[in-house]
Amino acid sequence: MIKRAFTLVELLVVIGIIALLISILLPALNRARQAAYSVACQSNMRQIGQAMTMYQNANKGSFPMWDTHMIVTWYPNVFRIAWARTLWNSNYLTNGKVFQCAAKPPNEVDLNSFPKDYQNSGSPTSDVEEGPFAYPDYGYNYKYIGSSLWILPHYNDPRDYEPAKVWKVKQPTETIVLVDSLAKWVPWRGYYIVEPESVNAIYYGPDVRHPGPSVNVLWADGHVTPVRCDDPNNPFTAGALTDGLNTPNHWDLN
């Protein structure tokens, strides 16, 4: 029996079919991967929300302070602590990877090996002390939830910077606590705070990095949802992230 080999044309047809299948499957696989990243990100946010609930139970219903530097800069022996490090130091979170979104490049510092009692005695109120906790991939609604900066403070009076109490949040299912964030001067990093659309949003703000396009949001009642943005280059096109006079404001406590 004579064995017949593939002709060149047949081989090229097979290669073409394989290439066509790959071109069809790769975008679907990429979409599935991005969707998985978004789900993992939402899981991270839920864990952070649970940690905040434990913090509230131990601190008379208070959300964590966004950053103690507003209080400690005039006290030379007190070290600044950002909200992420507050939860970390208190053991409400035990895996540093919850601060890292799978859709972003991993942080260069492994928080699991970062000492909880770290203090930089040479510069107690510097960003060095704050360390990698200034760059989680999730930004805190620091102006309304993490402080009372929206109230004109008296100079050097730390009482004006107290974070919100849970019972002061009138609509917890519709009030933003955390959002996917971006430090725009180092765009591979997140940033630990975000705020409503303002001049500061050109430096740091929400990061549209999930399918939709969308950003993930942790709400004050602990649930997490993706919020769709009409323009991936402008997260404030998402209805829930706007704070205009003619739209609902999901940032404040009302």
Q: What is the pLDDT of residue 173?
A: 92
- The reply to whether 251 falls in a domain is no
Q: 169 is in which domain, residue-wise?
A: 10-241
Helix or strand run (H / E) with residue 140:
strand 138-141
- The reply to whether 4 falls in a domain is no
Q: How many CA atoms lie within 13 A of 227 on its CB side?
A: 26
pLDDT per residue as tens, the chain (254 positions): 555 666 777 777 788 888 777 777 666 667 788 889 999 999 999 999 999 999 999 999 999 988 876 554 444 444 567 899 889 888 898 888 899 999 988 766 666 555 555 555 455 444 454 556 778 899 999 888 998 776 655 555 555 578 899 999 999 999 999 999 988 887 788 889 987 776 566 778 899 999 989 999 999 999 999 998 888 777 877 667 875 544 567 888 88
For residues 201 and 29, what is the distance between their CA atoms, to the nearest angstrom?
33
First to last CA, the chain: 85
Q: What is the pLDDT of residue 196?
A: 75
- The reply to whether 231 falls in a domain is yes
For residues 89 and 81, what is the distance between their CA atoms, to the nearest angstrom?
9
Q: What is the pLDDT of residue 33?
A: 85
User: Phi, psi at residue 128, to the nearest 5°?
Assistant: -65, -45
- The reply to whether 185 falls in a domain is yes
- The reply to whether 165 falls in a domain is yes
- The reply to whether 254 falls in a domain is no
- The reply to whether 247 falls in a domain is no
Q: Where are the alpha helices (DSSP H) in 59-175?
A: 69-72, 83-89, 127-130
Q: Which two tokens stand for residue 210?
A: 């999930």
Q: What is the pLDDT of residue 29?
A: 66
Domain count of the fold of the chain: 1
Nearest to 84 by CA among 135, 120, 158, 118: 135
- The reply to whether 153 falls in a domain is yes
Residue 149's CB is within 10 A of a number of other CB atoms, namely 15
Q: How many CA atoms lie within 13 A of 155 on its CB side?
A: 0
Q: What is the pLDDT of residue 245?
A: 47
Q: What is the pLDDT of residue 253?
A: 83
